[in-house]
Structure 1
């Protein structure tokens, strides 16, 4: 299924790891940073509505044309050993292609398409505490990740008899949301005055059965108020409830610009 978007992710979900950590745990003043960014992700998994599901296997080149609109951004505030983060992601994604469709409760699989339009909202609030501030800085992170998914779907079949959503229709719409608690760790290792390496990972659940992400990257502080961020990121959800399925992995390179003040 060619799915859902050039995730200029605001995927995820999410990315407190994108934040430039405070240079010293002993800093007395507040340090703020705003980071717009893009996440050029491929997607792999399953998406479903009212018990009708379809496989997703979309490379980045497949996905570029599917994003209708999107926004991703991260804001952090740091003081001493503490860092507080807020992230927002919005994507409107469209897809018109699938090799197979599984009917309600997985009882029937046929050739055809599940044409999907989805609006994905991801909000994350995080708190990080510096536990090590030697050459390598290490923060422990706790966060709440809120995911909202609005989906419209229409089944188009290449064979008969027709498969339908429960209730005898070939189209349906759903809105679902869930909240996950996650814990994680991130590390920042400076190479010199301008360059540093970043690693981040978290895992959790609650509303979903499981969610996790990890990322590795590099930051380039090319001026006192601006730093470029680039690397690789993977984000995963395993959510299924009342016929809605979002069992999805988004992975690929990211690129952001941190603005400090």
Structure 2
């Protein structure tokens, strides 16, 4: 982690005096992410559960919003905020003990997963013409909770939680087709340290007209994180669409 922060920070310091917006810029967008979940969760008892096959979790709702501010001051970084909330629930059957739930010959369960994250990204525009390149650092406030409840019987409950603030590298690139308003791009956050890792990438096509910006693309988020004795090792991916305004 320390090496990642030092390397990224050094790159930012080198880029800072030479890359900045020509004018003040402000933008905001909201998006819908049709996400699917795969992977495992483990808790302090040593039990492990497959969130897709055992719990049959399905996408209920999600919220995604972003806001950015760019300015012409060379030394100070631009700022971007991103918020993501993924909520999934399902009804499945446990084939092995998990948390405080003793299975025996099998237990029907109802499960709920809430995954919430807020990103504070500080970045510089390394290139700003028909080829755009941004480089920065993100502080991600990540919290997740998986609740598994037995249906009937003793109504046993298991709760798996992760909660952390993680430093991540940030990289964004976009290629504009001049005079058309059409562009393609990709952006991502990433960190890997001591067995834990988190990667969040998306690729998109974009159309911009006046102050309106429309995007469609694909997003993949991979979380392998252990908090005390609870662990989430999941992947969330799927297509997304977004609409926003830029000034």
TM-score by length of 1: 0.72
**Residue 63 (structure 1) aligns with:** 58
1:252 to 1:110, Cα distance in 2 relative to 1, 3 A: farther
**What is the distance in 1 between the residues matched to 2:83 and 2:123?**
18
**Residue 182 (structure 2) aligns with:** 195
1:228 to 1:98, Cα distance in 2 relative to 1, 3 A: farther
Is the CA contact 1:180–1:206 (under 8 Å) kept in the aligned structure 2?
Answer: no
- The yes-or-no answer on 1:79 pairing with 2:51 is no
- The yes-or-no answer on 1:251 pairing with 2:246 is no
Matches within 5 A, 1:230-241: 230-241=216-227
1:110 to 1:148, Cα distance in 2 relative to 1, 3 A: farther
Which residue among 218, 221, 239 is the counterpart of 2:205? 218
Is the CA contact 1:197–1:217 (under 8 Å) kept in the aligned structure 2?
Answer: yes
Matches within 5 A, 1:1-261: 27-51=21-45, 52-57=47-52, 63-64=58-59, 67=60, 69-80=61-72, 82-98=77-93, 100-103=95-98, 111-155=106-150, 170-173=156-159, 175-193=161-179, 194-205=181-192, 209-221=196-208, 223-261=209-247
Q: Deviations over 1:161-212 (max 9, x none)?
A: x9x9xxxx82133554112111132111012331001022331146981001
**Residue 22 (structure 1) aligns with:** none
Unaligned runs of 5+ in 1: 1-24
Moved more, 184-193 or 122-131: 184-193
TM superposition shift of 1:54: 1.2
Unaligned runs of 5+ in 2: 1-18
- The total of aligned residue pairs comes to 220
TM superposition shift of 1:34: 1.0
1:53 to 1:259, Cα distance in 2 relative to 1, 3 A: same
Is the CA contact 2:126–2:135 (under 8 Å) kept in the aligned structure 1?
Answer: yes
Is the CA contact 1:179–1:206 (under 8 Å) kept in the aligned structure 2?
Answer: no
